[in-house]
Amino acid sequence: MTRIPLISGNWKMNLNHFEAIQLVQKLSYELRNHDYDAVEVSVHPPFTDLRSVQTVIDADRMLFHLGAQNCHAEDSGAFTGEVSPAMLGKMDVTFVIVGHSERRALFGETNEVVAAKAAAVATHGMTPIVCVGETLEERESGDAQVIVEAQVRGSLSSLSGDQLAEVIVAYEPVWAIGTGVTASADDAQLMCAHIRSVIASVRKSAADKVRIQYGGSVNAANAAELMSMSDIDGALVGGASLEAASFARIVNFKDA
């Protein structure tokens, strides 16, 4: 089974819509010779930038996928301040990150909430990028695999079998996010292989198809080694995605 790697840029709460347009234009230039069939690319701007970025992607026929960072599970209703998957679908959003560790830690998202969001995203024809990962404390106590397994089972529990095969899981150890400390390629591979085995136990036929990204301080220097691991099918990139040249070098990890 060949899984096409997906490199995703999670911009978090950075860049207004003018800056967002500049970044995608620079990125498109940096990646002018890139083979997007060999390595797919998605950018995940804040909600307020999505329409502007979508318009530029369309007008200039750029080959990035548009992504969002979060959404609500319901289609519409009295949820002040929220954005629905139906709204994102209308904007040609392809991928929606759900259950990022910052949302779990800072906004109280449980596996149940994440599961509902993932199912809603899939039901609207988009692909959820479901984030899981242990804290430093959990790793040091030897519980990392148990914690991540529970997150994977809980967060994917509302997907149908077909939806499960299409999902993307991002393994992001919390201690590696934004710290400059990356998991070793071997440790990342071990956990990603474990995640795939957990998915296989739910639905064997889905496990080979599911793409598993690694995230946490990915940069141009460490991307190639991480991507060479058999169960790592891409990267979810935070800080290094905010600068076109550094993100492009990660996307071009095969040339490293």
- What is the contact surface with ligand PGA in residues (CB under 6 A)? 10, 172, 177-178, 215-218, 236-240
Q: C-beta of 200: minimal distance to ligand PGA in Å?
A: 25
Closer residue to ligand PGA, CB minimum distance, 97 or 207? 97
Closer residue to ligand PGA, CB minimum distance, 14 or 157? 14
Q: Which residue's entry shows tokens 């998605």? A: 42
CA distance 193 to 141: 20
Which are the catalytic amino acids?
Answer: 100, 172
Q: C-beta of 97: minimal distance to ligand PGA in Å?
A: 8
Closer residue to ligand PGA, CB minimum distance, 89 or 133? 133
Q: With contact defined as beta carbons under 8 Å apart, do 131 and 98 qualify?
A: yes
Q: C-beta of 44: minimal distance to ligand PGA in Å?
A: 9
Q: C-beta of 156: minimal distance to ligand PGA in Å?
A: 19
Closer residue to ligand PGA, CB minimum distance, 42 or 207? 42
Tell me whether residue 32 is exposed, middle or buried, using C-beta atoms within 10 angstroms of its C-beta: 0 to 12, 13 to 18, 19 or more: exposed
Give the CB-nearest residue to ligand PGA.
238
